[in-house]
Structures are given as structure tokens and as C-alpha cells.
Structure 1
Amino acid sequence: MICGLSSNGTLKILKPNTAIAVTEGTPQMVEKQRSEWTSEDKKKSNLDNVAKDILYKTLDKNTFSKIKMCPTAKEIWEKLIQICEGNEQTKENKLSVAIQKFENIKMKARETLSEFDERFSSLVNELAALGKELGNREVALKKMRALPRE
């Protein structure tokens, strides 16, 4: 059994076309009729529905509303990547903003050391997630400079 995607993104169960003789290469494939499906074909056909169900159950209402019109699990996944990570320009913009925040970070007047440390660590983690790796020395120096003189 071979699977393929139709033009609208739904899964098709394919079989070799026996009406055409193949002298070399791979045989031409045609869609199997539902009446010809084996139990394995039926399981494979349902995989997209299972994947969509899993994705639907893990999303909040806001995100779900953005992907509910996607017909396949693959399209849902691609849309989620676009929503969460963005395109290359979005990633570059996020990185630029995070770098600027890192360069300008200072401990606030009424902020505790643990609050500042949490905010600082979160920013370092954000930079790492965006592909900007900072050395331990650079992080330590920046943290020391960000503290008030007192």
C-alpha cells in the first residue's frame, strides 16, 4: 500500500495501475476505491484525523481559531510554526529587540535581586532560543554592570 496527498491535502490510498504495462521505472499509481481498502489502509487513512484531534486538544481557543480552517494536520502544523516562530524577518526582528533589551537591562529601583535575576535569566534564555549564544563571561559581566552601585 502506498499513500499520497490529493490536491486538497487529503490522504489518498494508492495502488499500482495494472492496466498499463511498465517496462522500466516505477509503475503508475491510481487511487484505490474504498471497497478495496484493507484494514491497514483504513488505519492509515484515519491518521490525519488522529493527528488533527491531538493538535486541537492541545491548543487554546485563540490559537485554535487561527488554525481551524486548515484541512490537514500537516497544514495545521505549518500554520502553528508560522504563528509561533514567524518567518525569517520576524525572527531577525525578535532577535534585534532581545539584543537591545539585553544591552539596556538595568536592575529597577524597587526590584529584588531574585526578581532581577529571573528577568535577566529569562532574557538570556530568549536570546538562546533565537539563536544568539552568549558566553558565561559576557553574561556575568553584563549582570554585574546591570546592578545598582549600592
Structure 2
Amino acid sequence: MALSGFSPAAPPIFSGEGYHIWVVKMRTYLQAFDLWKVVNSVIEPAPLRANPTVAQIRQHVDERTKRHKAMSCIQNCVSVVIFTRIMACETPKQAWDRLKEEFQGTERTRQQQLLNLRKDFENLKMKEEKTVKQYSDRIMAVVNSIKLLGEQFNEARIVEKVFSTLLERYEAKISSLETQET
């Protein structure tokens, strides 16, 4: 059942920081208005056939309008500085791709970022002065950065990392947890 009167809050304005988070929020925002497919496509709506019905005319107008709505959403959800970088784009796909190229980088850059984050994850160890909560928050920050770059991450691997790198003073608690699982 559709929610009547649903109006999601506008996503934050992208000013050049936190691109990966803005992308997730923006994609969801565009999906809420059935505009995401338009951003991912370069295909124009097919021209109307001869003697179209009123319903076909409405459908055609709606499909053409979606492109402008998507472009408006993208343009209005970036700061003035960022807008100047996409203002010459003709389609929402061009604007989206330009932002992606500039702020996410090339595929090679993304792969390098993933490699660095995986290395950070593997090298994480709990420090004596940190709490378990602080340590797990640090682990999750790295994992979330990896996920934002499109990489899947196994939850069991995270738990294994926490258990295997906690300080010795937590060994008894880990052992009791492991005993309870079996």
C-alpha cells in the first residue's frame, strides 16, 4: 500500500565532502520519486505514434518530465561551487557521472582505496587505553567505508576480527561466549 502524502526530507547539500554518503542518500531520494532509472539511462522516451490516446500522451509527457525532475533534484542538492561543475551537463546521467568521476575517482582509484581500507582492517588491533565500544566503532568505520565503495563484507569476518584482536583481559569473556555458541 502506497503512503499518501509521503514527502521525504531533502538530502543534504553536497559541498565536496562526504561524497560516498551523499550518493547513498541521493540514490534513495531519487528512488523515492521514481527518478533513479532516469539518472542511470541515456535512452530518451520513444516518440509518440500517430493518433496517440490521451493516456499515451500523458505517459509520454510524464517520461520526458522525469528527466527534468531528476536534473532538478541533482542540481538543487549540491552547493553553488559544485553546481558550477555540472551546470553544462545536458542530462541527469551526465551530471551524475561527472560528480562520480570527480569525487569518487576512476575505477583504479576506487580499487586503490579499497586495497588501503582492506589493509587498514587487517592491521587493526585494540589499544590498551580504548574501550571495546571504541574499538568496535573503529572497525565499523573502516568496514562502512569499504561498503560505501561497493565491496561486500562478511559479518562473520567482522566478529572474527573483534574476537581475535581484543586485549587479553577480555579472553575469559570471549571464551564464555564461544562456549555458549556450541
TM bracket, shorter-chain basis: 0.5 to 0.7
> Closer, same or farther in 2 for the Cα pair 1:113/1:53, shift >3 Å?
same
Are the aligned partners of 1:98 and 1:127 in contact in 2 as well (CA < 8 Å)?
yes
Structure having greater relative contact order (Cα 8 Å, sep ≥ 6) = 2
- Of the structure 1 ranges 117-126 and 83-92, higher mean CA displacement relative to structure 2 is found in 83-92
How much has 1:132 moved relative to structure 2?
Answer: 4.3
1:52 aligns with 2:62: no
> Closer, same or farther in 2 for the Cα pair 1:141/1:48, shift >3 Å?
closer
2:154 to 115, 134, 137: 134
Aligned to 2:121: 102
Structure that is richer in strand per residue: 1
1:121 aligns with 2:134: no
How much has 1:93 moved relative to structure 2?
Answer: 0.5
Alignment partners' CA distance in 2, 1:120 and 1:143: 8
How much has 1:74 moved relative to structure 2?
Answer: 2.1
State the superposition RMSD in angstroms: 3.3
Aligned to 1:77: 96
- Of the structure 1 ranges 114-123 and 83-92, higher mean CA displacement relative to structure 2 is found in 83-92
Which structure 2 segments of 5+ residues have no match? Answer: 1-41, 50-56, 170-182
Aligned to 1:29: none
Are the aligned partners of 1:128 and 1:134 in contact in 2 as well (CA < 8 Å)?
no
Provide, for residues 56-76 of structure 1, a one-character-per-residue CA deviation record: whole Å limited to 9, x for no partner.
222244543432332322211
Provide, for residues 79-113 of structure 1, a one-character-per-residue CA deviation record: whole Å limited to 9, x for no partner.
23334543321221111011110011122343332
> Closer, same or farther in 2 for the Cα pair 1:15/1:106, shift >3 Å?
same
Structure that is richer in helix per residue: 2
Aligned to 1:91: 110
Give the length in aligned residue pairs.
Answer: 119
> Closer, same or farther in 2 for the Cα pair 1:62/1:103, shift >3 Å?
farther
TM-score (norm 2): 0.50
Provide, for residues 21-48 of structure 1, a one-character-per-residue CA deviation record: whole Å limited to 9, x for no partner.
xxxxxxxxxxxxxxxxx78776655443
How much has 1:14 moved relative to structure 2?
Answer: 5.3
Are the aligned partners of 2:71 and 2:92 in contact in 1 as well (CA < 8 Å)?
yes
How much has 1:134 moved relative to structure 2?
Answer: 3.1
TM-score (norm 1): 0.58
Alignment partners' CA distance in 1, 2:160 and 2:65: 55
Which structure 1 segments of 5+ residues have no match? Answer: 1-8, 17-37
